[in-house]
Amino acid sequence: MIRNCFLCENQTELLYDANWVLPGLAPTNIGFSICPHCGSVCQSPTVTFDDMMRFYSSMAVYTNPGRKEKPSEAKIRDLDEQIQFIKRGIGNLPSSALQIGSSDGYTLSRFKSAGIDRVLGVEPGKASVALAKKLYNVECINDTAENFKTTEAFELIILTHVLEHLYEPQQTLNKCRKIQDSLAEGFIYVEVPLLAPPKSLFPGFFAFEHINYYTRENLLKSLLNSDYYPISVIEHYRSNLSPIIGVLASTKPQYHTDDFVNQYSKNRNRVQAYRRQEVEYWQQRLDVILPQLQQAKRVYLWGAGIHTSQLVANTNLLEKVIITGLTDTSELKWGLKQGNWHCVPPDAVEWQQGDAVLISSYASEKEIFDALQWLRDKQVNTLRLHNVDDTKAH
Domain ranges of the chain: 61-257, 290-384
Q: What is the pLDDT of residues 122-173, one digit of tens each?
A: 998 888 899 999 999 999 999 999 999 999 999 999 999 999 999 999 999 9
In angstroms, the CA 338 to CA 23 distance is 4
Q: Which CATH number fits domain 290-384: 3.40.50.300, 3.40.50.720, 3.40.50.460, 3.40.50.800?
A: 3.40.50.720
Average of per-residue pLDDT across 84-90? 97
List the one residue out of 26, 43, 24, 46 whose CA is nearest residue 35: 43
Average of per-residue pLDDT across 207-217? 95
Report the b/e string of 146-185 with b at 16+ CB within 10 A: eebeeeeebbbbbbbbbbbbbbbbbebbebbbebbeeeee
| Residue 331 clears pLDDT 90, i.e. is over it | no
- Answer whether 61-257 and 290-384 agree in fold: yes
Give the model's pLDDT for residue 89.
97
List the one residue out of 20, 23, 3 whose CA is nearest residue 12: 3
In angstroms, the CA 231 to CA 219 distance is 13
Give the model's pLDDT for residue 72.
83
In angstroms, the CA 91 to CA 263 distance is 34
Q: What is the pLDDT of residues 255-270, one digit of tens each?
A: 999 999 999 999 999 9
Q: What is the pLDDT of residues 280-318, one digit of tens each?
A: 999 999 999 999 999 999 999 999 888 899 999 999 999
Q: Is residue 84 left, alpha or beta, with left meaning phi > 0 and alpha meaning psi from -120 to 50?
A: alpha
DSSP string, 300-361: EEE--SHHHHHHHHHS-HHHH----EEE-S-GGGTT-EETTEEEE-GGGS---TT-EEEE--
Q: At CA 234, angle to CA 233 and CA 236, rounded to 5?
A: 155
Give the model's pLDDT for residue 241.
85
Q: Which CATH number fits domain 61-257: 3.90.226.10, 3.40.50.1820, 3.40.50.150, 3.30.1330.10?
A: 3.40.50.150
Q: Running DSSP on this structure, what letter comes out for residue 159? A: E
pTM score of the predicted model: 0.90
Q: Are 328 and 334 in contact (CB under 8 A)?
A: yes
In angstroms, the CA 316 to CA 298 distance is 18
State the burial class of residue 190 (Cβ atoms within 10 Å of its Cβ: 0-12, 13-18, 19+): buried
Average pLDDT, the chain: 93
68 confidence band (pLDDT: 50, 70, 90): low
